């Protein structure tokens, strides 16, 4: 990920913290155009990018008077991801976790296992549930304008829950398929981080 996107990603919760520290909730409105910068590269062409940034600026104007609006995007994103994971469980679709496995094995120059289809499908459902639950809590905290609790949930709790889910899946997979080659946790995380959204469009 480019450095400027990492700065924008870190700047979002940092702005929420500063707004809490200074007692100036209207500062949260700056989060929306900052967050839009993260998604600009995902949209093809200048029209889509202009619409996204224009929408973000319009919502930022509203957030000056309704600061809790600036807390909604992470919850919406998590819920949307959960729904996307769930949508890939259709009969005519490849489950997201199965696609992840294919991409990881392709990146490592190995063959994806053919005997784990049910396992990958089940963990796609598990991840859909985890992501939707994280998003639902984030949305509830945003809707009730509990900014401090929201900050703890989004910045600390959500990443820890996802890390714990990854670790649990790895431990259970080692037990379920003891004869397969399993990476260590660090290598497993690096493999997952290496997968970018554009890989799914191939």
List the domain boundaries for the chain: 1-65, 71-202
pLDDT band for position 116 (50/70/90)? Answer: confident
Comparing CA positions, the residue from 4, 52, 19, 6 lying closest to residue 150 is: 19
Q: Which residue has the higher pLDDT, 130 or 181?
A: 130
N-terminal to C-terminal alpha carbon distance within the chain? 19
**CA of residue 170 relative to chain centroid, distance:** 19
Residue at token pair 């200048």: 46
Comparing CA positions, the residue from 29, 40, 51 lying closest to residue 4 is: 40
Percent of the chain with pLDDT over 70: 88
What distance in Å separates the CA atoms of residue 40 and residue 20, rounded to the nearest whole number? 28
- What's 177's DSSP letter? -
What helix, strand, coil percent values describe the chain, rounded to 5?
80, 0, 20
Q: Is the pLDDT of residue 66 over 70?
A: yes
Count of alpha carbons within 13 angstroms of residue 40, beta-carbon side: 20
Q: Is the pLDDT of residue 142 over 70?
A: yes
Give the least confident one: 117-121, 156-160, 195-199. 195-199
The answer to whether the beta carbons of residues 30 and 60 sit under 8 Å apart is yes
Check residue 6 and give its pLDDT: 73
- Number of neighbouring beta carbons within 10 Å of residue 113: 15
Q: Is the pLDDT of residue 164 over 70?
A: yes
Check residue 76 and give its pLDDT: 95
Residue at token pair 């900052």: 34
pLDDT band for position 43 (50/70/90)? Answer: confident
CA distances from 35 to 49, 63, 193 (A): 13, 14, 20
Mean pLDDT value across residues 141-165? 95
Token digits of residue 63? 């957030």
What distance in Å separates the CA atoms of residue 168 and residue 55, rounded to the nearest whole number? 39
CA distances from 152 to 138, 156, 159, 178, 183 (A): 10, 5, 10, 37, 31
């Amino acid at each position: 990920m480019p450095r400027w996107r990492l700065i924008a990603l870190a700047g979002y919760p940092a702005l929420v913290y500063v707004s809490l520290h200074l007692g100036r909730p209207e500062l949260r409105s700056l989060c929306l155009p900052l967050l839009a910068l993260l998604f600009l590269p995902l949209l093809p062409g200048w029209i889509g990018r202009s619409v996204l940034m224009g929408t973000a600026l319009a919502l930022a104007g509203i957030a000056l008077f309704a600061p809790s609006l600036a807390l909604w995007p992470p919850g919406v994103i998590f819920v949307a991801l959960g729904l996307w994971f769930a949508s890939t469980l259709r009969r005519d679709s490849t489950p997201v976790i199965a696609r992840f496995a294919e991409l990881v094995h392709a990146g490592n120059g190995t063959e994806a296992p053919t005997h784990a289809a049910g396992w990958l499908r089940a963990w796609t459902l598990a991840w859909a549930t985890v992501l939707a639950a994280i998003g639902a809590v984030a949305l509830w905290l945003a809707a009730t304008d509990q900014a401090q609790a929201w900050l703890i949930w989004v910045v600390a709790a959500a990443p820890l829950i996802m890390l714990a889910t990854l670790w649990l899946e790895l431990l259970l997979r080692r037990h379920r398929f003891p004869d397969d080659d399993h990476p260590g946790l660090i290598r497993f995380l690096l493999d997952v981080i290496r997968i970018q959204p554009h890989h799914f469009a191939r």
